[in-house]
Amino acid sequence: MDTITAFFSGKPTEQITQNVLGKLLSYQSPSGLVSGYIVEAEAYLGARDSAAHAYQGRRTAANEALYGAPGTIYIYTLHGQYMFDIAVQPKDEPQGILVRGLEPVEGIDIMTKNRGKTGSELTNGPGKLMSAFGIHDKQWNLTMINAGPIKIDLTTGRQPRQIVSSARVGVSRRGDATDAPYRYYVKGNPYVSGMKKRDVDLKTHGWADEPFDN
DNA sequence: GAAGGGATCAGCT
DNA sequence: GCTGATCCCTTCA
């Protein structure tokens, strides 16, 4: 079993979602390399999760990637924005992780140009981070992570000081699972969506290792 | 700096 | 037609 398969299966999706926090997500874009540490993600638990795209086994051309092998990339649009998911659990078990926030590392100049914004506004939301990466289509939907230009580095990365869980964003009036605490984020990181300025830890950005200057 | 509402569009039904 | 796993701008503090 390769490392991607092992990382994205064999344990509860809630746990995998917490494990991706601090991992480096990168994209070798036509304009250059862009990357960032994952600081916020949500778990979607498939057929039994009333907030999930695969609730009650719903399966269409659009959400087919959720049924793929662990590590399959699921890209879909919402309100004209592109969202980035990673399918987890074995093939035909349609669970997934939505990446909602990144702390930029490489290609910050490219992301600034793509977004027309600066600072935490670069990547503090699921549509924003895709826009920052310059991804405006579903070209990589259904492809495997680490097999193409989109990669996740499972061997290095940073350690969150504290992980906070909350209800998922944008899933009001979605049945029993509406209030389930399947959103996880790095406490105090400025690139978490909706993070209030007074809750940001300017010194560490919520990481346990080396401190920041800015 | 918080809150509210319009924009926007692919993928259903 | 209608609906969001959203974003952005405007308004009011």
pLDDT at A179: 87
Instruction: Label residues A164-183 b or e (16+ Cβ within 10 Å = b).
Output: bbeebeebeebeebeebebb
pLDDT in tens, A18-43: 999 999 999 999 999 999 999 999 99
Q: Above 60 in pLDDT, residue A214?
A: no
A64 CA vs B11 C1’ separation (Å):
13
Q: Do residues A134 and A110 touch, judged by C-beta distance below 8 A?
A: yes
Does residue A136 sit within a domain? yes
What is the average pLDDT across A86-115? 97
Does residue A206 sit within a domain? no
In terms of pLDDT, which residue wins out, A173 or A85? Answer: A85
Does residue A211 sit within a domain? no
Residue span of the structural domain in which A118 resides = 3-199
pTM comes to 0.96
Does residue A210 sit within a domain? no
Q: Is the CB of A200 under 7 A from strand B?
A: no
Q: Is the CB of A131 under 7 A from strand C?
A: yes
A10 CA vs C6 C1’ separation (Å):
32
φ/ψ bin of A31: left (φ > 0), alpha (ψ from -120 to 50), beta (otherwise): alpha
Does residue A207 sit within a domain? no
Does residue A120 sit within a domain? yes
Return the amino acid letter for A136.
H
**Strand B bases contacted by the protein (CB, 7 Å):** 1-2, 7-13
pLDDT at A213: 60
Does residue A33 sit within a domain? yes
Q: Which helix (H) or strand (E) holds A110?
A: helix A108-115
Domain count, chain A: 1
Q: Above 60 in pLDDT, residue A110?
A: yes
Instruction: Label residues A63-80 b or e (16+ Cβ within 10 Å = b).
Output: bbbbbbbbbbbbbbeeee
Q: Residue A112 sits in a domain of what CATH number?
A: 3.10.300.10
Average pLDDT of chain A is: 95
Structure tokens at A175: 């049945």
Does residue A69 sit within a domain? yes
What is the average pLDDT across A169-181? 85
Nearest nt to A59, CA vs C1'? B12
